[in-house]
Chain A
Amino acid sequence: MISDLQHLLSTLDLDADWIGLRAVRETAASCYVRDGLPEGNAKSLNQGVMVEVMAQGQIGYGAVNSFQPEQIRAAAKTAYQQAIVASRWGIYPATPAIRPKVVGQYASPFQKPLNALSPGEINELLVRLCKTLKVSEQIVQTLAVARHETVDSWFVSSNGSEVYQQLSLIETHYGAIAQDGPIVQQRSNNGHLAHCYQGGWELFLDDQLWSRAQHIGQQTVELLTAEECPTTRTTLVLAPDQMMLQIHESVGHPLELDRILGDERNYAGGSFVKPSDFGSLSYGSRLMNVTFNPAVPNEFASYRFDDTGAPASREYLIREGVLQRGLGSLESQARLGVPGVSCARASSWNRPPIDRMANLNLEPGEDSPAAIIADIEEGVYMEANRSWSIDDQRYKFQFGCEYAKRIENGKLTKTLRNPNYRGTTLDFWHRLSRIGNSETWEIYGTPYCGKGEPNQAIRVGHGSPVCAFEEVEVFGGG
């Protein structure tokens, strides 16, 4: 494919400063079982080419769902014309420096390949999961989902880039809903589709699969008779499966340079972070160390090069609580004059790259999970995201979880249902008082990070330890 694209590139007769061709082929399969019966078995092929043409200081793009040379040439012509007509109105003068020459490859690590299980075998597993989840007649719904994708991408450019990357992606989910009259409760495997990884079936078929499913079924029923989460200010301990969402919404999005530049103001929103904050803003307590890390094995958004070809590496965004750099591509860094990372990504061949999160992780600290709980006289421990909402500047948030426990005198005691909490970003992160060690560190992800105009849903990964926050507003349902 690389040589085909290079040949095609050499035949394009455009008066351009730079041209890039990014071909993408995504093959996917998904199986969805509800109450032990098949709801959907689907496969797909999605492929096409994105052509970016830089001319007169402006990038235009054209994309087509085909690898046929004449259709790619037509897309290139569209891209060129778009660049020319917009060049008088460009928001900044683009130069080829934002698209450096790179050569290299990347492939996701895996042990048990994605084609190792047939759709029939996957269905058997999912049916058994549903049966395992149904521990009571009060369970009114069980569901189990498994999806896998192989994404091949090839990138060549007029300044000599040649990149091939292959992602092996696996996404699984299972959970249950229990009902007793007006009381309805849900519980799942760490939140909706949180088990998103790069790798193979070894990441799903572990020794604890069946016992975990049974435990989730039991907890769903347990929630029906649990106490409501109290309305109070207290110490809040969040498990990594909720920290994922907390990091995503209140650290990741506000640090995106295109939000700070205003590109997203009409849709996803802006940010409370100002350009002058980089290098000085106290974002949270000294325990807070956040990294952009595209090199964590099995994390969902690992890669070696972003979708403009820029080489990606681990960088601290927040170090000991102080903001260091933003989530912004070479393009955004040039426009804003602040340091960023290689995070220009596109959801597929039919969207242009924009600033995205990728893997964003809270680094572990020193505390064992037992030590964190043991030191809390009164508090609430919450697991697994259920509800999420934050304002367009990424400041005032309210999040809800599936499951909680009361913490009393250093012990986890009664189960609580409908746990929610709210706060404001900087105040909340300054309340971070204890941070778990690497023993508590877990990785999750989601394929549904939404942003951009036109809209793009993209894959992100988040790793976090267990964390404790002092004096947070928590409350229940009803």
Chain B
Amino acid sequence: MALDALEAEFSDLAAAIAERLLPEEQFTLGLNAEQSQFVRFNHARVRQTGGIVDCQVGLTLMANQRTASWRFPLTGNWDTDWAIAADALADLRADLPHLPIDPYQVLPSGDATSRDVHHGCLLDPNAVVDAVLPEVDGLDFTGIYAGGRMLQAYADSVGQRHWFATDSFSLDYSLFTADGQAVKGTLAGSEWDAAAYAAKLADSKQQLERLALTPKPIPKGGYRVYLAPAALADIVAMFSWGGVSEASLQQGESALGALQRGDRTLSSQFTLRENFASGLVPRFNHLGEIAPMELTIIDQGKLVNTLVNSRTAKEYGKTANGANSAESLRSPEVCPGSLPAADVLTALETGLYLSNLHYLNWSDRPTGRITGMTRYACFWVEQGEIVAPIENLRFDESLYRCLGDNLIALTQQIEFIATVDTYERRRLGGMWVPGALVEDFTFTL
């Protein structure tokens, strides 16, 4: 199946459904597709390799204040696909009258259309192994290359149409020492650049050398820490899970309830916004609405906006701002601070340099407390010098402390942390974040 051929079929499908629509009906149609190459590595060898082609369409039918949806595959064969779509449409029509009335139903409206196609220069699927592995000969290299074309599209009964196609790849890897210490590296983009790969590896190898020392066990307690951008990104990602969603706040599920009520504060150094300027992810949502190019959510520690989709807006009398159905961050950016990257170790003085965190979860969501682990290239620092890698530690700390009074500084530079998730399908985009210097970060185990 050629993914590019799906644009015409998706359009035909929307037209065919529109043609058969009854006067009281409305519909939305969403599409997610990928042609992906996955090569999994372990010990600088190939563990698994293959390619997948997938396309799923979601049809939502609305009538008489009731809503239901069907998701089915689109294969590029019109006869097969239309037969399934027509059955889905008939089934939705049969179910709708028996469903409860939905007072917060949002019908498609507006006249937004868009078409963004980003062509890249990716490795040929049969060339990935030879491009990646010779460079890591002799290293304990593990990870995954995921690359190919991705599509997202939208159509509805009022004529809105969106098409987003992009070529993208990510190489997410780790290099290990013999005793299990590791460095994490990620290369992502739309063009494979052998020189950039070599440079990234050189940087990783340099970090790996620092891990050769015997790991230092650190007793539990409070320590001054530097959270490198990837580590801070893990904390900011928690804002998408019971954080910045207006529905979560209204329904008692948000850790930011205390911030909204004024019970707790965040540092004036902390500013979080959605910024779609990079164009890595589509701006349209599940109703075809376009999100603003920029939306500040936390401005110098103050919650100035939440993510509000049209359904939540209708339920709680708010103004929608193009949020997705989950009201999660899609293109977040934490604004930089004043700490030069070169001064990080000096400013840390004595404490922990944390490159990455792992397996974060709310340990007490209403108070913003998060637990998780340190992982990869984490060091004990004394008087501005790296002394030794550490044995991994468990932290349990409130975001109101680490991004509040205990936030000493953010770095001047922000880094792009690519999203490498591949549950169900490859994900796009990532997060721009600085590093953070934090006082008295709590470690419990």
Selected contact of A41 from candidates B47, B52, B95, CB within 8 Å: B95
Separation in Å of the B2 CB from the closest CB of chain A?
10
Given the complex of chains A and B, what is the CA–CA distance between A97 and B409 in angstroms? 58
Are A65's CB and B55's CB within 8 A? yes
Of B334-342, B368-376, B380-388, the one with at least 4 CB within 8 A of chain A: B368-376
Selected contact of A90 from candidates B45, B95, B99, CB within 8 Å: B45
Are A266's CB and B95's CB within 8 A? no
Are B182's CB and A265's CB within 8 A? yes
Are B251's CB and A141's CB within 8 A? yes
Q: Does B125 contact A (CB under 8 A)?
A: yes
Of B68-76, B151-159, B204-212, the one with at least 4 CB within 8 A of chain A: B68-76
- The chain A residue sitting closest to B132, CB to CB, is A89
Given contacts A140-B251, A396-B394, contact A37 B103 (CB under 8 A): yes
Of A102-110, A151-159, A361-369, A387-395, the one with at least 4 CB within 8 A of chain B: A387-395
Given contacts A46-B56, A140-B251, A396-B394, contact A453 B143 (CB under 8 A): yes
Are A182's CB and B50's CB within 8 A? no
Selected contact of A182 from candidates B48, B74, B263, CB within 8 Å: B263
Contact string, A253-288, partner B, CB cutoff 8 A, digits 1/0? 000000001110111011000000000000000000
Given the complex of chains A and B, what is the CA–CA distance between A81 and B74 in angstroms? 25
Given contacts A389-B360, A453-B38, contact A118 B129 (CB under 8 A): no
Contacts of B40 in A (CB 8 A): 263, 453-454
Contacts of A121 in B (CB 8 A): 98
Separation in Å of the B188 CB from the closest CB of chain A?
14
**8 Å CB contacts to B: which residues of A58-114?**
58-66, 68, 71, 74-75, 78-79, 81-83, 85-86, 88-91
Contacts of B364 in A (CB 8 A): 387, 400, 418, 420, 477-478
**8 Å CB contacts to A: which residues of B392-433?**
392, 394, 396, 421-424, 426
Q: Does A298 contact B (CB under 8 A)?
A: no
- The chain B residue sitting closest to A88, CB to CB, is B129
**8 Å CB contacts to A: which residues of B135-193?**
142-144, 146, 172-174, 176, 180, 182, 184
Contacts of A184 in B (CB 8 A): 252-253, 257, 365-366
Separation in Å of the A478 CB from the closest CB of chain B?
6
Contacts of B422 in A (CB 8 A): 453-455
Q: Does B64 contact A (CB under 8 A)?
A: no
Selected contact of B84 from candidates A45, A64, A119, CB within 8 Å: A45
**8 Å CB contacts to B: which residues of A426-478?**
450, 453-457, 477-478
How many contacting A-B pairs (Cβ < 8 A)? 260
Separation in Å of the A274 CB from the closest CB of chain B?
11
Contacts of B343 in A (CB 8 A): none
Given the complex of chains A and B, what is the CA–CA distance between A387 and B360 in angstroms? 10
Selected contact of B129 from candidates A44, A89, A266, A387, CB within 8 Å: A89
Separation in Å of the B179 CB from the closest CB of chain A?
12
- The chain B residue sitting closest to A124, CB to CB, is B100
- The chain A residue sitting closest to B264, CB to CB, is A182
Separation in Å of the A433 CB from the closest CB of chain B?
22
Q: Which residues of B contact A (CB under 8 A)?
A: 1, 36, 38-40, 42-43, 45-56, 66-75, 77, 80, 84, 88, 91, 95, 98-100, 102-104, 125-127, 129-130, 133, 142-144, 146, 172-174, 176, 180, 182, 184, 251-253, 257-258, 261, 263, 358-367, 369, 371-373, 375, 392, 394, 396, 421-424, 426, 444-445
Q: List 12 A-B contacts (CB under 8 A).
A: A44-B72, A61-B50, A75-B53, A78-B50, A89-B45, A123-B100, A140-B251, A389-B360, A398-B363, A454-B422, A455-B421, A457-B423
Q: Which residues of A contact B (CB under 8 A)?
A: 33-34, 37-38, 40-48, 58-66, 68, 71, 74-75, 78-79, 81-83, 85-86, 88-91, 118-121, 123, 127, 140-141, 177-179, 182-184, 261-263, 265-267, 269-270, 350, 352, 354, 387-393, 396, 398, 400, 418, 420, 422-424, 450, 453-457, 477-478
